[in-house]
Structure 1
Amino acid sequence: MELLCFLGSFASACGVSVYLLGKWLSRRRAAAASALALVTTHQGKLTSLPRGAVVEVVGESHYQETLEALSEERTGRSQRIATTAHLVRERVNRFDENAVAVVIEGRLVGYLSRADALGFRALIEEMEARGEIAACAATIVGGWSRGERGSGKFGVKLDVMHPDKAPADATIISHAVTGLWEAKGPAGRRKVVQRALESLRTEDAKTQLLNEASSVEVVAALEQSAGLKTPAAKRRRLQAALDALRADEVPDELQRQQVEWLEAALRDLDAPPEA
């Protein structure tokens, strides 16, 4: 009789445990689905966060099969696979209301630690409100296999600057403008602009930088034109700068001053010489 009671109690306890486990797994699946759905919905609106520090991803041990599918064939050496990760708020997480999921190629591979999630949460919320998904450089590491001597687990490391340590947009633009004036030629200036754009957080700041870059490019074109010998060569240089300015991504209202400078310079070339 006692044995039957024990077995009955054990079965009941197991039933409760299975029920609770089922609820936990259901919530985890819902959380993962929420994160993945958000990434899928906003494809094409990825915004890269600036590099700057190694951020360790946690919980990868639960996603080893996924990481192996994203990796190369195991060898005796640890892997280092460069990729891009998306950072997505997980709205359904009973363990951490600030949880931030790490997603690679549409697959959940882990989470930011609690401390890192707190630091990134506000920035990610701001980006999602603008219809953007936070993206950052990532590396899949580990995954070595040495036969009978065992194998290593996969891990994920992010290369992303913590929001609290990221310089303000105004500082980035100021440094970029200095770099634009010091750069050699259009190719050098394009590199300066591209690096700065990767670090800026808001669209307004990016537009401001592009406007500043256009202004520098126009002044450079005017200076180069002044150094050319023939009116035809000067006209070609100014017209090329004007065409490039009209084709770039800066809104027309912000280009007005630069366009006026170039058009005035072209008119001066076409004006008859003073008697």
Structure 2
Amino acid sequence: MAEALNLAIIVVALLALFFLLKGRPKARAIPAGPGAGSYTPVPEGAPVLHWADGGGQFDVEVLGESRYRDTIRRLAGEHGDGKADARHTALLLPDDANPYEDKAVAVFLSGEMVGYLAPKDALAFRQRLARQEIAGQLTSCDAAVRGGALWEGKRLAYAVWLDLDLKG
């Protein structure tokens, strides 16, 4: 009798798990490129603060650059066969409306989207905003577009780096 009851409980649990997983909504796919119907936030107004505490280290990398590689390549400027090191001012926008990441921070150079902070960096950055009592506000920092050197006849990838201290 106890074996039959245990078996019945296992069957019911497996059926419930099956229907729970089967009925889950499918995640939306991220569109392939920046103009392909993708979500893009828009920064409004002037930055309320320029972060100048990175000490010229440029050790926070922007993610998702592959979606914006043409924009980043253009922002790297002409640099011949060597690597680029083009300096810009980055706008950092806490993106609460982002449908893919709830704590996203979008990064813009010269008014154009170039990617997002990594989730752990975005969380640390939002905590800094809260400590400064400017949560959710547009801020800026120095940025560098690096990479793009020629190697074995091919152009290497570019990356965007921010001069931002996320430990402080």
Q: Provide TM-score, normalisation by structure 2.
A: 0.68
Match of 1:136 among 118, 141, 154: 141
Partner of 2:17: none
The number of residue pairs the alignment matches comes to 133
Partner of 2:165: 161
Match of 2:45 among 42, 46, 66: 42
Partner of 1:152: 156
How far apart are the structure 1 equivalents of 2:110 and 2:134? 19
Structure 2: where are the runs of 5+ without partners?
Answer: 1-27
Shift of 1:100: 0.7
How far apart are the structure 2 equivalents of 1:42 and 1:123? 20
How far apart are the structure 2 equivalents of 1:91 and 1:122? 14
How far apart are the structure 2 equivalents of 1:27 and 1:79? 28
Alignment of 1:29 onto 2:38: yes
Partner of 1:51: 54
Partner of 2:99: 94
Cα contact 1:67–1:154 (8 A) shared by 2:
yes
CA deviation profile, 1:89-117 (whole Å, cap 9, x unmatched): 12233332111111111111011111101
Shift of 1:60: 1.0
| SS state at 1:29 partner | coil
Cα contact 1:74–1:145 (8 A) shared by 2:
no
Match of 1:61 among 57, 66, 91: 66
In 2 relative to 1, CA 76–28 (structure 1 residues): closer, same or farther, beyond 3 Å?
A: same
Name which structure has the greater RCO, CA cutoff 8 Å, separation 6+.
2
Higher strand share: 2
Shift of 1:75: 1.6
Point out the structure with max Rg over C-alpha.
1
Q: Provide TM-score, normalisation by structure 1.
A: 0.43
How far apart are the structure 1 equivalents of 2:37 and 2:122? 17
In 2 relative to 1, CA 28–156 (structure 1 residues): closer, same or farther, beyond 3 Å?
A: farther
Match of 2:80 among 50, 75, 79: 75
CA-atom RMSD in angstroms: 2.6
Shift of 1:46: 4.1
Structure 1: where are the runs of 5+ without partners?
Answer: 1-19, 167-275
